[in-house]
């Protein structure tokens, strides 16, 4: 009863706006700026993975609060990563393990992150890509902006539209033609409005998702003759079990890229697209700083998963190694975080839902599987035990501690990498018995529930539409 009275009092105090000497005092209930970036791996300046990348605005945001150097996605694919983050249910609980599997039949509206904020009295605005394929459901948002597309055209300097399924090339369009530019325009309008309720503003950037096609000026910033290929080694898959090789598909994208001789062009295009995205994030941050809400708005930025560009003879996400699992995670929480804080503790994106609730005075629903990381936001050096967990398809799990990555596949095969000695995961230590205790410690965190995979295909899409 005492806890109920306390929570009720807190909610009342947070939602009431008072007037002192004729001046309005802003509610202490924090606003939220929720920034989702599609296919952005750890090639951002402050994570020091690729010295060629230039992300001054993302780095500026990192300097404003806490950046997590060992943040990992829940799943290395857009659909399951976003469904897990937004629902609080891991892929092994929902059955949504991959793209093409409809999440809405198994994730009721009442469970989602945005619903919790709506129920707490927030206005909840969305724009761009928050769920996979820009899917969203009525009833979970106050308003959702759908930008009007402009035709995008390759610049005459482009050789073609890429290599096989890896699509890239400079555009003749202007920056303002890009969907992400329009999404930021919408967000800036919301930040310029007067709000009578706290707001949750979700801004989803499509880039740097393929095609890596942005205005040519961004390619010009990254001259082709300056490009360095990502660190890689020959025969990198020779000590990887068959389950890992099956995910890598070395005879697919990577073989085509080697044959084409255009690996450096693809890297250039990805870097150019990251710079475009960084510019748009800069516009968004500038708008917040110039708004009335700069001092009472929580900011969280996350990339939905990583991306391989030839490391381990693999392209795209869809794997359980560092490049596919690790992505940026930055938090700025007024009164909680300190500027220029760096946290090396391993966390995964299942922490985002409960942490936002925790920071906003909203009860964390019982179904949410991730822990709140508010203790790490307050003290980036605080003790932390659980490893980060990433899942791709049923019973395939990847764990990250501060030192090690451990992968266990459905068939029982394993990989183990020591990131102090081997940051690019070139030497699989799983068969070395001196690491048996390390593996056993990870195995304690294997999910107890691993439900069957949801079906794929158009029939499932029909089910999703009906359920929505």
Q: What is the pLDDT of residue 22?
A: 32
The strands making up 31-37's β-sheet, listed across from edge to edge, are: 143-145, 123-128, 199-205, 31-37, 297-303, 329-332, 66-72, 341-348
Residue 26 lies in a domain: no
100 contacts 393 by C-beta, under 8 angstroms = no
**Residue 23 lies inside a defined structural domain of this protein:** no
Please list the pLDDT of the chain residue by residue as tens digits (468 residues): 333 333 433 343 344 333 333 333 344 689 999 999 999 999 999 999 999 999 999 999 999 999 999 999 999 999 999 999 999 999 999 999 999 999 999 999 999 999 999 999 999 999 999 999 878 899 999 999 988 999 999 999 999 999 999 999 999 999 999 999 999 999 999 999 999 999 999 999 999 999 999 999 999 999 999 999 999 999 999 999 999 999 999 999 999 999 999 999 999 999 999 999 999 999 999 999 999 999 999 999 999 999 999 999 999 999 999 999 999 999 999 999 999 999 999 999 999 999 999 999 999 999 999 999 999 999 999 999 999 999 999 999 999 999 999 999 999 999 999 999 999 999 999 999 999 999 999 999 999 999 999 998 643 444 344 433
* Residue numbers of the domain that contains 186: 31-467
Could you tell me if 257 and 167 are in contact, meaning their C-beta atoms sit under 8 angstroms apart?
no
Angle between helices 263-289 and 56-64 (to 10 degrees): 50
Residue 3 lies in a domain: no
Q: Say if 24 falls within a structural domain.
A: no
- The answer to whether residue 1 is domain-embedded is no
Could you count the other beta carbons within 10 Å of the beta carbon of residue 391? Answer: 25
Look at residue 5 in the predicted model and tell me its pLDDT: 34
Count of domains forming the chain: 1
Residue 135, pLDDT score: 87
- Give kind and range of the element (H or E) at residue 5: helix 2-15
Contact (Cβ atoms closer than 8 angstroms) between residue 389 and residue 370 = no
Identify the CA nearest to 176 among candidates 43, 288, 276. 276
Characterize 149-166 residue by residue with b for buried, 16 or more Cβ atoms within 10 angstroms of its Cβ, and e for exposed: eeeeebeeebeeebbeeb
Contact 86, 350 (CB under 8 A): no
Give the pairing of strands 166-167 and 162-163.
Answer: antiparallel
Q: Which CATH number does the domain housing residue 245 bear?
A: 3.40.720.10
- Is residue 436 situated within a structural domain? yes
Residue 251, domain member (yes or no):
yes
Helix (H/G/I), strand (E/B), else coil: 369: coil
Task: State pTM to two decimals.
Answer: 0.92
What pLDDT is stored for residue 457 in this prediction?
A: 64
Cα separations (Å) of 412 from 27, 243, 276, 443? 53, 10, 42, 11
- Please name the residues in contact with 169: beta carbons below 8 A apart, sequence gap of 6 or more: 154, 155, 158, 159, 160, 161, 162, 211, 212, 213, 269
Positions annotated as catalytic residues are: 78, 132
Residue 22: inside a domain: no
Cβ-based burial of 204 (10 A; exposed 0-12, middle 13-18, buried ≥19): buried
DSSP sequence for 371-406: PP-HHHHH-TTS---PPEEEE-STT-EEEE-SSEEE
């Amino acid at each position: 009863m005492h806890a109920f009275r306390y929570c009720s009092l807190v909610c009342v105090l947070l939602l009431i706006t008072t007037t002192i000497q004729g001046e309005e005092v802003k509610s202490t209930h924090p606003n939220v700026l929720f920034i989702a970036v599609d296919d952005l791996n750890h090639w951002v300046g402050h994570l020091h993975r690729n010295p060629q990348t230039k992300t001054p605005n993302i780095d500026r945001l990192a300097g404003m609060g806490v950046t997590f150097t060992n943040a990992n996605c829940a799943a290395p694919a857009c659909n399951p990563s976003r469904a897990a983050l937004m629902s609080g249910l891991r892929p092994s609980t929902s059955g949504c393990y991959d793209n093409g599997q409809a999440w809405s039949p198994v994730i009721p509206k009442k469970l989602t992150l945005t619903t919790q904020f709506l129920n707490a009295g927030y206005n909840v605005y969305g724009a761009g890509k928050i769920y996979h394929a820009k899917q969203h459901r009525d009833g979970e948002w106050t308003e959702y902006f759908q930008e009007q597309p402009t035709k995008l055209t390759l610049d005459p300097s482009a050789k073609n539209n890429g290599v096989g399924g890896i699509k890239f090339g400079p555009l003749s369009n202007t920056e303002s033609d890009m969907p992400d530019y329009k999404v930021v325009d919408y967000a800036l309008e919301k930040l310029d409005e007067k709000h009578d309720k706290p707001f949750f503003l979700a801004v989803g950037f499509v880039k740097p998702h393929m095609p890596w096609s942005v205005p040519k000026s961004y390619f010009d910033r990254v001259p082709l003759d300056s490009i360095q290929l990502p660190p890689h080694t020959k025969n990198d898959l020779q000590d990887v079990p068959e389950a890992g090789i099956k995910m890598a598909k070395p005879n697919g994208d990577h073989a085509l890229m080697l044959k084409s001789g255009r690996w450096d062009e693809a890297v250039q295009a990805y870097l150019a697209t990251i710079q475009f995205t960084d510019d748009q994030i800069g516009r968004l941050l500038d708008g917040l700083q110039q708004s009335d809400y700069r001092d009472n708005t929580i900011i969280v930025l996350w990339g939905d998963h990583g991306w391989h560009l030839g490391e381990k003879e693999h392209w795209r996400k869809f794997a359980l190694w560092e490049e596919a699992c690790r992505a940026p995670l930055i938090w700025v929480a007024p009164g909680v975080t300190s500027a220029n804080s760096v946290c090396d503790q391993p966390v995964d994106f299942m922490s985002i839902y409960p942490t936002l609730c925790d920071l906003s005075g909203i009860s964390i629903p019982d179904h949410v599987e991730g822990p709140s990381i508010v203790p790490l936001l307050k003290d980036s050096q605080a003790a932390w035990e659980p490893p980060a967990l990433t899942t791709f398809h049923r019973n395939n799990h990847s764990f990250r501690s501060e030192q090690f990555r451990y992968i266990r596949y459905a068939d029982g095969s394993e990989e183990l990498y020591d990131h102090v000695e081997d940051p690019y995961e070139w030497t699989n230590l799983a068969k070395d018995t001196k690491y048996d205790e390390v593996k056993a410690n990870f195995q304690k965190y294997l999910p107890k529930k691993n439900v069957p995979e949801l079906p794929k295909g158009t029939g499932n899409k029909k089910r999703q539409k009906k359920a929505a």
